[in-house]
Structure 1
């Protein structure tokens, strides 16, 4: 009888290309992964890994077994989802991932509500960038994810994933208080030509979106400061070091010396919950999506009265 945990370890090495990467994905040590595969070798009587330079590679036998493991693990997940749906109980463990702003701005309220209504559900939250959340949900390492895309830069989901829109997060200009445009009711991006900009780290979704959006407005961005946390970006704006475009979910307390000005035309990003379509029948997935939607509605109501 093949052990599922050992098949899972082999499949992770097959997907991620190394024992270390598989261990990171499974949240165990590399030694634990190697031990599971060594036991699987004894069970099957076949050599599954061999040395290749400084690392290891899977043998042809391992590749064949990993392909079967993928189908087996998918069937197990479907069976678990069907059984949970039959019981109708929100219990067990739910592994979630969310991008940093949502992890701070939405998840505390959503998880608190979920715990109050379903105290027997254990939720593990992992902060991830959106692309990684999508990959890990698709591969089954996360049960549910919260991701974002910008309306002018939509994200494509792989087959087998479903999503539900949680909210539209409007982005505004963040200007130093003494900026000539700080008193305007709204500002077109074309008026921001020649400004210095503060952005997220190059390679992140928000940095790439800012560059794309400014160039679409015929502005070649001069980015002088990079900071991933929005409060840091606002502090840099308050110091007069540049301007920024920050979504409302990313704004906590607006510091003195900063003015928030709406952009014309409006810029916004959409925030989604994503999960594997085969797991949609799980009561835990439905309950978590409902909690996220409730937290999103509360946030939108707070913006409406502010």
Structure 2
């Protein structure tokens, strides 16, 4: 009889590419991963991993087993979801991958609501950008993902996912207070295309969107810095170093020396949550989606405008 837990370890090695990466994903030691693989090899009567330089390589037998394991783990998740639905208790462990602005803007309210309504549910947040959340969901490392995508640049979700829209978020233009455009109440999009931009990190969907947005209007982006944290961007802008698109969700306090100005047409991004469709019956999933919708509604009603 093959052990599902040991199959899960083999699957993690295949997905993450090494024993150490698998151990980190599973929150166990390297030694524990090695022991589980050794036991699984004894169960199947064939070697499953081979040394390859400093790492390991899966054998043909392991590749075959991994293919079946992906389906087995999917069936296990579906069975767990149906059992939870049958019990109708909002309990257990829910892993949520969420973009940083959504963590700041929505999660305090959502987590408080879930804790008060469902004390038996433990929610674990992993702050990740959307380009990290999507693979995490595909690998099964998260149960829910709270993500954003910009208008005109939607995320491509893995197959077998369901999603729920939460809100629209608008991006304003953060400028040094001494900039000639900073005194305006509203900016035209074509006026800002040649600004020296402080963008997001390379490879992120937000950075790619900024490049595409500017180029679609016939200009070439002038990126002077790449900074992920919004408060760091605002500090640089206050010192007169560049400008940035500043989403309202999770922006935080604006320091002296910075002026945040709306732009038209508005720079809009969608905020939504998605999960594996096979988990839709889990009471914990349904409760978390309700809490996030409530948090988004509260935020939309109370958020200040520039």
What is the TM-score with the length of structure 2 in the denominator? Answer: 0.95
Deviates more, 1:215-224 or 1:6-15: 215-224
Instruction: Look up the SS of the partner of 1:182 in the other structure.
Output: coil
Deviates more, 1:187-196 or 1:269-278: 187-196
Does 1:23 find its partner at 2:26?
A: no
Deviates more, 1:207-216 or 1:246-255: 207-216
After TM superposition, the runs of 4+ consecutive aligned structure 1 residues lying more than 4 A away are none
**Contact 1:160/1:276 (CA < 8 Å) preserved in 2?**
yes
Deviates more, 1:64-73 or 1:88-97: 64-73
| Corresponding residue for residue 46 of structure 1 | 46
Alignment root-mean-square deviation, CA: 1.5
**Contact 2:131/2:204 (CA < 8 Å) preserved in 1?**
no
Does 1:192 find its partner at 2:192?
A: yes
Distance 2:193 2:107 in 1: 36
| Corresponding residue for residue 235 of structure 1 | 235
Shift of 1:226: 2.0
| Corresponding residue for residue 56 of structure 2 | 56
Q: Which blocks of at least 5 consecutive residues in structure 1 are unaligned?
A: none
| Corresponding residue for residue 104 of structure 2 | 104
Does 1:202 find its partner at 2:202?
A: yes
Does 1:262 find its partner at 2:262?
A: yes
Distance 2:122 2:248 in 1: 30
Does 1:133 find its partner at 2:133?
A: yes
Distance 1:100 1:305 in 2: 20
Does 1:220 find its partner at 2:220?
A: yes
Distance 1:48 1:296 in 2: 47
| Corresponding residue for residue 178 of structure 2 | 178
| Corresponding residue for residue 291 of structure 2 | 291
| Corresponding residue for residue 2 of structure 1 | 2
Shift of 1:198: 1.2
Distance 1:179 1:65 in 2: 61
| Corresponding residue for residue 153 of structure 1 | 153
Deviates more, 1:75-84 or 1:198-207: 198-207
Shift of 1:182: 1.5
49 and 193 in structure 1: CA distance in 2 versus 1, 3 angstrom threshold: closer
Q: Which blocks of at least 5 consecutive residues in structure 2 are unaligned?
A: none
Distance 1:303 1:113 in 2: 19
Does 1:117 find its partner at 2:121?
A: no
Distance 1:194 1:77 in 2: 50
Instruction: Look up the SS of the partner of 2:256 in the other structure.
Output: coil
Deviates more, 1:21-30 or 1:108-117: 21-30
Q: What count of residue pairs does the alignment treat as equivalent?
A: 306
**Contact 2:170/2:269 (CA < 8 Å) preserved in 1?**
yes
Instruction: Look up the SS of the partner of 2:113 in the other structure.
Output: helix
| Corresponding residue for residue 163 of structure 1 | 163
Shift of 1:218: 2.3
Deviates more, 1:170-179 or 1:26-35: 26-35
**Contact 1:189/1:214 (CA < 8 Å) preserved in 2?**
no
Instruction: Look up the SS of the partner of 2:223 in the other structure.
Output: strand
**Contact 2:51/2:57 (CA < 8 Å) preserved in 1?**
yes
Shift of 1:256: 1.0
